[in-house]
Amino acid sequence: MPELPYVAGAEQLVVWPPGTLQAPLIPGGDNVQLVKPDGTPYVALSEGGITRTQAQFDRVNSQTFQTVPGLVLVLSAGQTYRLRAELDVVAGTGGFKVRLGPGAGPLTATALWYYITARQDGVTTDLRLVRRESALAGSPTAYAGAGDFLVEIAGVITVGIGAQLVVQFACQNNDGSTSSVRLNSLLQATLIGSLAAPDG
């Protein structure tokens, strides 16, 4: 089976062993690799995306942070992303705490800021919580009270080492109560730039 024609200065599909090219092509698969013009492997850029919880996540009498299932996104090294999360939280008398953290892999940030705010159902006079954060898995943002809350996270991250970004959640106090992140809570990361200079 003939190899693909070489085009100088373009990204190439390199097939190994020769003659094993089959459809569909899967970059990163057993026999197909996408390489840059300089011969280095091409790594797909994560554009971020949006994800949601597909079930309610409960923390029962526990102050230990855990990743909220479903609220996980992969971010790429050297890229800058706009961050947004909207959490539908129901808190027991032990309250709740929340933060952004690294998931699987050593996600790092060369620059990061985000605010966490919480609005309580039925309370229109003020925000229950406002806090600025500048580190992954840093000091938790917490509220020690029961109720239904819209918890919002908004900020920007420039990624050092690319890996998973997650939302972490727990009870603020251990008093036997349950605090939860409900179904269809959201995490979104939107790619807005790169540290690298543009080509040309």
Length of the chain: 200
Query: Which helix or strand (DSSP H or E) is residue 105 part of?
Result: none
Q: pLDDT value at position 179?
A: 97
**pLDDT tens across 69-121, in order?**
999 999 999 999 999 999 999 999 999 999 999 998 899 999 999 999 999 99
Tokens 């190994």 found at: 16
Q: pLDDT value at position 68?
A: 98
Determine the straight-line distance between the first and last CA of the chain, rounded to whole angstroms. Answer: 36
Q: pTM here?
A: 0.76
Q: pLDDT value at position 7?
A: 43
Q: Residue 194 pLDDT > 60, yes or no?
A: yes
Domains (ranges, CATH) in the chain? 1-44 (no CATH), 48-194 (2.60.120)
Q: Region 133-138: what's the mean pLDDT?
A: 92
Residue type, 162: G
Q: Is the peptide bond before 102 cis (omega within 30 degrees of 0)?
A: no
**pLDDT tens across 5-64, in order?**
444 444 444 444 444 444 444 444 444 455 556 666 555 677 789 999 999 999 999 999
Radius of gyration of the chain (CA): 22
